Structure 1
Amino acid sequence: MAIDADIVRPRPVDDLGRRVAAFTNDNLFTGVPQLLHPPNPYRRMLVPDAVAEVDFTRPLGTAEATGHRALVAHRLLGTFYEADTVLLPEQGLGALRGDFDRFYGDGLRRLREASLSDLERFAFALLDDEIDVTGAWSVADLAAYFEHAAAEAAGPAESLTAIAAARRPQVAADTYLVQLALDGLTEASAMSKNLGGAFGPEQSALFKVFIDEFGYGVHEAKHTTIFRKMLRSRALQTHVHAYWNFYLAGPLATNNYYYFVSRDHASFFRYIGAVTYAERVFAPSFVHMIETYRGVFGDDVDLHYCEEHAHIDAHHGRITRDEILLALAERHGTGVIPELVRGIAEARLLGGWFEQDAAAQIRWSDELDAYRSPGAGSGPARRVELTALSPFGTRSHDAAVIVTVEDGEGELITGPTAAPEPMARGDAVLVPAGRLYGMRAAGGRCAYTIRDAGTKTDPDAASDAGAVTPSAS
């Protein structure tokens, strides 16, 4: 039977902007005046004005991976993916039943389903450009490449180095912790999508990893529960997406990637490569995190979550490598190995973006005084007017901009616990490309302008990922 070409042809991407605009303009996603989101997992600020600026006709380039278009796309994707999970507020549904019905209801579901595949293509097509798995791969080549990739991640993460060097290391450490909250409060949700079906002993091995994440059915031992203990020890909010406004594009993209390759079971082997890499590198990374956070906070932080992962992820690293990754390659032959390798390479690349983005945000926020009074900027100005009741949202730009207060007084917000930066009339600050910030009115009203600072992102710039060949190991 012939397949109608209309069934498999992608929808025109120039229509994607209209579809996501209809979604983001729903009142669930237009924000609240507070910096933090209340305990309501169905409402999160998608900054409709910033979404309207995005050109969805051209997929993201690698140099934009932590920029404004990426931030918009991955906020949307994260919301789309989570609508396929069960989110219930810890305090009970109660008065939020209307939001629950709307979030999961037919109207928004139709918009999500009409947009999801196109948005995934927009956000993740760059992976095909960046990673080229070539050559004839054997199981031995796969094992060697995996060990090579994991060994490269053995040192302290770039973010942890930035925390240790910061003038305000506690603020920097909180910024990093909030990035972990994106996954830490809904941990293993993407993995759950790969547990169904029938694929032999490897399925049982994957389930062993999954059930560890859920504390073997004991809620107090569940990883999300012990992550909340760490947040509480830092006097941070523990409900899902309290810090939605402060998630960066790199961490959002990393979290979304695991949903992306889990939603499409044709990408199953890609997922296995990625999760095996992640489980291997998590254990040493949490050892380094323990050292850094002890150095910053002493005993005034609960590191049970980090200690658990430093222990259990060493075990998970062995299970995923021996009982899943290599076992699948042995069972299903050389035809699946390139996809397993691709998953390893993609997880490595995305993990690098996570770290680079978080470290750059930490450094910029910590050194903000050096970005004051940068000049007037160039080109046309976009004027934004705020009152005390204006919804608060954060955004970034794909080129460096100069933000100048024109009337009233404002506060520049650069992190979840960073002190607001007062800005009076005439004050200006340089916001580098990709840096996350928000403005709010102080004293009732504020008007500010955004002008190009003259530094642009090259969307065609290449990363160092390159081709992955058996000899690369």
Structure 2
Amino acid sequence: MPLDHSEIFAGLDPDDSNSIVKAFAANSAFRAAEWEELTTEDNPYRRPVRPDDLAWLNYSKPMPAAKALKLSALLGHRMLRNVYDSGLLYLPPTAGTAPETDGAAFYNDRNRILSALAAPVLERHLFTLLDGARKPLGSSDLTHLKREVREHHQQRLAEPGRAFTTALGTKDRKAAATFVMLQLSAFLPAARAATGRAALGEYDATHPGVRTLLLDDYRTWAGQHEEYRALLEAAELKPTAAAYWQLYLGTSLARGNHLHWLSHNREKYPEFLGAMLHHKIEEAADGPRFAEVFEDGLGLRTGLFDGLGALRESDLDALVDRLVLPLKALYGDQAVDRFHQGFADARWFAQLWDEDLTEQLLWADSIELHQRKAEALSKHIDDNRIEVDLDTFVESNEETSTTHVHNEHRLVMVERGQMHFWNNTTHKIEFNEGDKVLIPVSRLHGSTVLSGECTYHQPIIPEEMYQQF
């Protein structure tokens, strides 16, 4: 049957790029989550985006770095991952009506066309901030680049990320290790898929040996499938792609999306190679730390990182030469600058991820403390008759809020009814009438109503007041 383009382009405003993003997000596979869809272990295509929020979010212009942990970034990276993944093969573990229906929507021509239109809009919104965040190399000399790569490698080996030490210091280390595993599953397979995509093509005459290097990297990952699966099973998780979609931090998606962006846009080949090298350095440094967290919290000593993270300091200079020297003959000195750009941008996302994951782990491990803080804040507001902005919600049984973050600190105060509050696969937190909790800015969470109806309020807490408590 001929494709009906009029249906696809209906409602699109050629002068409003945001309308393209809205049309893409309207895919039925991306609809808001329902109560039974907190996880989607049998359906790799079901990826809730919270499309209703696009009524007030604007993706038509670049996002400032200050919003890199806020809602626009989270939903933007969810949508962009769906763009990239629609060009890859995913299969459900078993047959079923839901994956068949959502798979048809995920892979149909309408989604392919809207993906192609939405990709540059989302990429501009999400990645332009890197131009201002990046520290220039300062010289196009290859020796300078090698020194920076070596120094970063040494620093990462010496300084474990805060997220790992935080996970090892939590009260509920199984919950922390499970959440860390969820984040790994959000970017490790994506990074390898981006590498596999980058390998495709005929370029050996100009860049000898690198296609084999990229293919070997992807082949190594494919050969580690059983190790990866065993690690997920230790966390009582399934290996289905996007099974825990709602629990991926925006920064976890961003790390994979950055590599996808550079490999998908073929003109960014030097930048991709720089980002890939950074990813290999991160794996070499973080592999033992991931393994320690998983052994401590899940009781499994995994060998997954033994092969994936193989990178010796003595090999770094030779690897940089192998990746960059042939490109210098093609692009001149800008090859060094472009390679460094990819390297520096990947480092920025990795640092942001460490900060984001650290704060999420700390908050999730101290919900009782944040309940007490909420009580104190509420009393402070009432006693001093302070007026704050307030959102009120009245929701019915099983109404579900797809996981999200807030752009400001908020209290959740249940006036009537019951709800489940959740931020991990390990457990849900029950809130009843009168219960309160403080949700700091950018902390990922969702909720489901348990009673026939639930009324709850969300006072917005100014930064100055938040710091007092």
Deviation at 1:314, TM superposition (A): 7.9
Aligned-pair identity in percent equals 22
- Equivalence for 2:62: 59
- Equivalence for 2:4: none
- Equivalence for 1:467: none
Task: Name the stretch that deviates more: 49-58 or 312-321.
Answer: 312-321
Deviation at 1:181, TM superposition (A): 0.7
Q: What amino acid is the match of 1:344?
A: F
TM-score (norm 1): 0.85
Residue 205 of structure 1: which of 194, 210, 228 is its match? 210
Give CA deviations for 1:26-71 in whole Å, capped at 9, x if unaligned: 3211223132114212111111233333233442221221211110
Deviation at 1:14, TM superposition (A): 7.7
Name the CA shift for 1:396/1:409 in 2 (closer, same or farther; >3 Å): same
Q: Secondary structure at the match of 1:393?
A: strand
* Preserved contact between residue 280 and residue 316 of structure 1 (Cα < 8 Å): no
- For structure 1, the residue ranges without an aligned partner over 5 or more in a row are 1-10, 457-473
Cα distance in 1 for partners of 2:361, 2:15 equals 35
* Preserved contact between residue 13 and residue 56 of structure 1 (Cα < 8 Å): no
- Equivalence for 2:281: 280
* Preserved contact between residue 440 and residue 446 of structure 1 (Cα < 8 Å): no
- Equivalence for 1:20: 21
Residue 421 of structure 1: which of 426, 429, 440 is its match? 429
Name the CA shift for 1:409/1:14 in 2 (closer, same or farther; >3 Å): farther
Task: Name the stretch that deviates more: 381-390 or 310-319.
Answer: 310-319
Cα distance in 2 for partners of 1:361, 1:156 equals 17
* Preserved contact between residue 185 and residue 224 of structure 1 (Cα < 8 Å): no
| Segments ≥4 residues shifted beyond 6 Å | 11-14, 312-319
Q: Is 1:162 aligned to 2:166, yes or no?
A: yes
Q: What amino acid is the match of 1:265?
A: R
Cα distance in 1 for partners of 2:400, 2:223 equals 34
Deviation at 1:200, TM superposition (A): 3.5
Q: What pairs up with 1:63-462 in 2 under 5 angstroms?
A: 63-91=66-94, 96-133=99-136, 135-154=138-157, 155-186=159-190, 188-195=192-199, 196-200=201-205, 202=207, 204-215=209-220, 222-297=223-298, 300-311=299-310, 320-326=319-325, 328-329=327-328, 332-372=331-371, 373-374=374-375, 375-376=377-378, 379-417=388-426, 419-455=427-463
Deviation at 1:166, TM superposition (A): 0.6
Task: Name the stretch that deviates more: 312-321 or 102-111.
Answer: 312-321
Deviation at 1:384, TM superposition (A): 3.1
* Preserved contact between residue 280 and residue 311 of structure 2 (Cα < 8 Å): no
* Preserved contact between residue 190 and residue 256 of structure 2 (Cα < 8 Å): no
Give CA deviations for 1:347-396 in whole Å, capped at 9, x if unaligned: 11111011111111000100111211253475443333434433451000
Cα distance in 2 for partners of 1:111, 1:244 equals 21
Q: What amino acid is the match of 1:336?
A: A
Deviation at 1:428, TM superposition (A): 1.9
- Equivalence for 2:3: none
Cα distance in 2 for partners of 1:12, 1:122 equals 18
Name the CA shift for 1:370/1:291 in 2 (closer, same or farther; >3 Å): same
Q: Secondary structure at the match of 2:347?
A: helix
Give CA deviations for 1:230-266 in whole Å, capped at 9, x if unaligned: 0012211221111100000111111100011112122
Name the CA shift for 1:306/1:132 in 2 (closer, same or farther; >3 Å): closer
Q: What amino acid is the match of 1:174?
A: T
- Equivalence for 2:35: 33
Cα distance in 2 for partners of 1:57, 1:272 equals 29
Size of the alignment, in residue pairs?
439
Q: Secondary structure at the match of 1:356?
A: helix
Name the CA shift for 1:295/1:146 in 2 (closer, same or farther; >3 Å): same
Cα distance in 2 for partners of 1:171, 1:317 equals 36
Q: What do you get for the CA RMSD once the two structures are aligned?
A: 2.8
Deviation at 1:400, TM superposition (A): 1.2
Cα distance in 2 for partners of 1:435, 1:313 equals 37
Cα distance in 1 for partners of 2:228, 2:214 equals 17
* Preserved contact between residue 184 and residue 227 of structure 1 (Cα < 8 Å): no
* Preserved contact between residue 143 and residue 326 of structure 1 (Cα < 8 Å): no
* Preserved contact between residue 329 and residue 336 of structure 1 (Cα < 8 Å): yes
* Preserved contact between residue 402 and residue 431 of structure 1 (Cα < 8 Å): yes
Q: Secondary structure at the match of 1:451?
A: strand
Higher relative contact order (CA 8 A, sep 6+): 1
TM-score (norm 2): 0.85
* Preserved contact between residue 187 and residue 255 of structure 2 (Cα < 8 Å): no
Cα distance in 2 for partners of 1:331, 1:111 equals 34
* Preserved contact between residue 27 and residue 105 of structure 2 (Cα < 8 Å): no
Q: Secondary structure at the match of 1:411?
A: strand
Cα distance in 1 for partners of 2:77, 2:261 equals 11
Give CA deviations for 1:152-202 in whole Å, capped at 9, x if unaligned: 322212211111111111111111110011134455211122221314474
Q: What amino acid is the match of 1:362?
A: L
Q: Secondary structure at the match of 1:443?
A: coil
Name the CA shift for 1:164/1:20 in 2 (closer, same or farther; >3 Å): same
Name the CA shift for 1:304/1:201 in 2 (closer, same or farther; >3 Å): farther
Name the CA shift for 1:58/1:187 in 2 (closer, same or farther; >3 Å): closer
Name the CA shift for 1:185/1:341 in 2 (closer, same or farther; >3 Å): closer
Task: Name the stretch that deviates more: 159-168 or 181-190.
Answer: 181-190
* Preserved contact between residue 188 and residue 256 of structure 2 (Cα < 8 Å): no
